[in-house]
Amino acid sequence: MKKLLALLFVVLMMVACFAGCGSKDTLVMGTNATFPPYEYVDDNGEIVGIDAEIAAAVAEKLGMELEIKDMEFDSLLTAVQSKTIDIALAGMTVTDERKLSVNFSDTYAKGVQVIIVPENSAIKTVDDLKGKKIGVQTGTTGDIYCTDEFGQENVNQYQNGALAVAALNNGQIDCVVIDNEPAKNFVKANTGLKILDTEYANEDYAAAISKENTELLENFNKALKELKDDGTVDKIIAKYIPAE
Ligand code: GLN
């Protein structure tokens, strides 16, 4: 009996060790990797970008292993709430509405909603969008603002920005409302498109974390502050957004 207990003890210790020893805690980040330069899939099939690098730097500070899950943008908040992911970093704008379902970290970047049009478009200002066919990425702030202001019947939703821009190229819509940095990437990758000078909305980007996980929120903010103070965040942003 004693021997059996001793054996049981050893087995239990081994199980505990497999679960805990050596294996770092994992920080599971959700994103939508169609949003360059914040997150996109590179030529090696890896998810890279500003958000991925900031998350990796934070994880390192917290002694955690970073795992990135790619999902639709409009599933991210539900995934945070259900704890399928620990954190969402996706060029996500802080809004009062979203704050009802998740906590936001301190902000780490600014975004601007801009308007992409064909070079010869008659659309010159935000007012000209009235009655036009507007393309957006589903569930984004661009989608929410345009639906509020111009009516759902004038807004065409696409699963990502590239699909919206493709529809613009095909003449199916008159413009695309999207964040400025992805907009620059999409315009560069296509001919005959331009970004209007007018800024449709100014926004702050932050990470979304479950309201129940205040410990992670505190740790994330602390690590982020250190990374801002020592210039790491600026360096990451400058790497992906070269000064013009
Ligand atoms: N900043 C926008 C938002 O939060 C778009 C983000 C995105 O498409 N990844 O809604």
Tens of pLDDT along 158-206?
A: 999 999 999 999 999 999 999 999 999 999 999 999 999 988 999 999 9
pLDDT in tens, 77-129: 999 999 999 999 999 999 999 999 999 999 999 999 999 999 999 999 999 99
Task: Please give the torsion angle defined by the CA atoms of residues 21, 54, 111 and 178, in that order, rounded to the nearest 10 degrees.
Answer: -70
Atom of ligand 1 nearest to the CA of 90: 9
Burial bucket for residue 97 (CB in 10 Å: 0-12, 13-18, 19+): exposed
CB of 182 shorter than 6 A to ligand 1: no
Q: Assess contact for 205 and 107: CB atoms under 8 A.
A: yes
Structure tokens that stand for 141 in this block: 């702030």
Expressed in angstroms and rounded, the spacing between residue 93 Cα and the centre of ligand 1 is 6
For residue 48, which of 35, 63, 58, 65 has the smallest C-alpha distance? 35
pLDDT of residue 58: 98
Among 6-10, 18-22, 101-105, which is the least confidently predicted range? 18-22
Neighbouring C-beta atoms of residue 100, cutoff 10 Å: 9
Expressed in angstroms and rounded, the spacing between residue 196 Cα and the centre of ligand 1 is 19
Query: What are the C-alpha distances in Å from 132 to residues 8, 75, 87, 113, 148?
Result: 72, 28, 36, 17, 14
CB of 140 shorter than 6 A to ligand 1: yes
pLDDT for residue 44 is more than 90: yes
CB of 34 shorter than 6 A to ligand 1: no
Rounded distance between C-alpha atoms, residue 112 and residue 78, angstroms: 24
pLDDT of residue 9: 66
Q: Assess contact for 108 and 100: CB atoms under 8 A.
A: no
Reported for 228-233, long-range contacts at CB under 8 A and 24+ positions apart, including other chains, are 228/108, 232/57, 233/54, 233/57, 233/108
Rounded distance between C-alpha atoms, residue 76 and residue 91, angstroms: 12
Rounded distance between C-alpha atoms, residue 33 and residue 37, angstroms: 9
CB of 37 shorter than 6 A to ligand 1: no
Expressed in angstroms and rounded, the spacing between residue 202 Cα and the centre of ligand 1 is 12
Candidates 73, 160, 199: which one to mutate for ligand 1, based on the most atoms within 8 Å of Cβ? 73
pLDDT of residue 242: 84
**Which residue do the tokens 């917290």 mark?**
62
Expressed in angstroms and rounded, the spacing between residue 235 Cα and the centre of ligand 1 is 22
- Angle CA 61–45–167, to nearest 5: 110
CB of 92 shorter than 6 A to ligand 1: yes
pLDDT for residue 21 is more than 60: no
The closest residue, in CA terms, to atom 5 on ligand 1 is 140
CB of 179 shorter than 6 A to ligand 1: yes
